[in-house]
Structure 1
């Protein structure tokens, strides 16, 4: 069995794994203990990126630091285990991203994610799309939509075009880079309510946590004629 130990003062760092409902948590005088990790979870990027933690494997009540052959110490006795979602409740007071205009601030970050997500949109250069679309069959373009984002073009829908570019997955009107997800998953609903309350936009997120709001009125079907008309 795998366990994780972290000092109580670093409790907030555990937010990245709080949604793993199989985990159980206990507290002693100075530390927070978490157990019931699967092999995949204990080796995931989400766990490995948490600073100030000690990871152990429990054998006959002895704690072996991950990757070491000799025991470090015994598991404290009398620990009372409870599901992590109860032990670490989400608290959303007045803090938010700096564009929310509320008293406190919190940085919205995207972090690498091992979860496999279906691609939904592709951000490409104008010249790359122009070279493809000039000879592409009509049926290949019909399922897709497009919109101009600064000096690039966002193609929405599937099947995606065989053009190099940045790929995004879709989550409740958010377009998120494939291979990434929000660090603070508990803020997603709050973000939706603040950035897109009427669901009239798509929000394109960048890996650095910045975003672009895309009005649904600017999104149009992809076709050679609409492309030429726009750039004529």
Structure 2
């Protein structure tokens, strides 16, 4: 390859995530015992930005590497040692009689997000929400829905949210993400929804460590003082797969 390119740093444990692109002319070079440099043509920028990389650089025609978002080169790309991706991830026939192998899972967790995203939902303690709701005016409650969990948490959606201490969440499809966090660029909401088998009637509540809980849409009720009183003795469980 020649001209401007992209270079990324990928963990050896994540190399299998590149298998779909073994035939497009990408190159790898050993960076350490557990990390590899990945070189990608500039035309593949859209795919490059979604890969599980520990760092991303732009490489100019002289081999100088500038971290994306920066202006000053910080190092020079390795001059030798590059091998085609297809060499390290060859395609071969399966062993006779071998069982089908599932795709190799790639671990991930939510990333910190500096974007100022408005909260669209609130997770708080049930006693705090109940005390506020029983004292609030009816029109103030009508714009809210809630689902109470049997561990004394309650998840509230709507606008404006109640002025109760708790964790704010923003929504991506059928996924709820805690405030200050986002999905990694290589994790697409649509694919994650499919992987979790949420269908059209369930939501996933994501946590920063990559774990999640699931909620059924039918567990949400329109907020009112009567609904709060009835729910006091009838909580539901958020499911942890």
Task: Quote the residue 1:218 is aligned against.
Answer: 219
* TM norm structure 1: 0.61
Superposition RMSD on alpha carbons, in Å? 4.2
Task: Quote the residue 1:86 is aligned against.
Answer: none
SS of the residue corresponding to residue 213 of structure 2 reads strand
* TM norm structure 2: 0.59
Task: Quote the residue 1:18 is aligned against.
Answer: none
Instruction: Give the length in aligned residue pairs.
Output: 187
CA contact (8 A) 1:108 1:184 kept: no
Cα shift at 1:4? 6.9
Cα shift at 1:130? 2.4
1:198/1:134 CA distance change after superposition, 3 Å: same
CA contact (8 A) 1:125 1:165 kept: yes
Task: Quote the residue 1:122 is aligned against.
Answer: 122
Distance 2:123 2:168 in 1: 7
Cα shift at 1:155? 0.4
1:73/1:216 CA distance change after superposition, 3 Å: closer
Say whether residues 1:111 and 2:111 are aligned partners. yes
CA contact (8 A) 2:134 2:228 kept: no
CA contact (8 A) 2:144 2:158 kept: yes
Stretches of structure 1 that go unaligned for 5 or more consecutive residues are 16-25, 37-45, 77-92, 96-103
Say whether residues 1:189 and 2:180 are aligned partners. no
CA contact (8 A) 1:11 1:32 kept: no
Stretches of structure 2 that go unaligned for 5 or more consecutive residues are 18-24, 30-36, 43-49, 80-100, 234-241
The CA deviation string for residues 129-179 of structure 1, in whole angstroms up to 9 with x for no partner, is 123122211111110000012320010111111111011111111111122
Distance 2:204 2:74 in 1: 49
1:72/1:224 CA distance change after superposition, 3 Å: closer
1:202/1:73 CA distance change after superposition, 3 Å: closer
